[in-house]
Amino acid sequence: MQTYPFYSSGCLTVRFVGELDHAAAAGAMRAVTAAAEEFLPRRCVLDLSGLSFMDSSGVAVILRAKRMLSATGAELMVSSPPEQARRVLELAGLSELLIDTERKEVNSR
């Protein structure tokens, strides 16, 4: 899996591309941690649009990132999950972390 951090005016976006499973989770967490330490963002968005697969290991990465960022007062949101990752997020009770445009789509189902 690849990670692509992008920082602009207080918001850190980290785009995940590939399969976010147990084998990839530690690397993904390291990438988010390194980018957060470098940019000290007020807000972080994990862009899941490039994920071809995600399971509960991805849920753990999102929850860890959220805890890490909240320690510095930053918030974490999740955007654009493909359907498979969206179903995992919903089952894990993380729909509330989806940014607004995504949440509307979820609620309309």
Site residues (CB under 8 A) for other proteins? Answer: 19, 21-23, 25-26, 29, 53, 55-57, 59-60, 63-64, 67, 83-84, 87-88, 91-92
Alpha carbon distance 34, 27 (integer Å):
11
CA angle 101, 104, 18 (to 5 degrees): 60
DSSP letter at 73?
Answer: T
Nearer to other proteins, 72 or 84 (CB): 84
Q: Residue 19 is encoded by which pair of tokens?
A: 């399969």
Answer whether 44's CB lies under 8 Å from 31's CB. Answer: no
CB of 77 to other proteins, least distance (A): 18
Residue nearer to other proteins on the CB measure, 14 or 28: 28
Tell the smallest beta-carbon distance from residue 92 to other proteins (Å).
Answer: 5
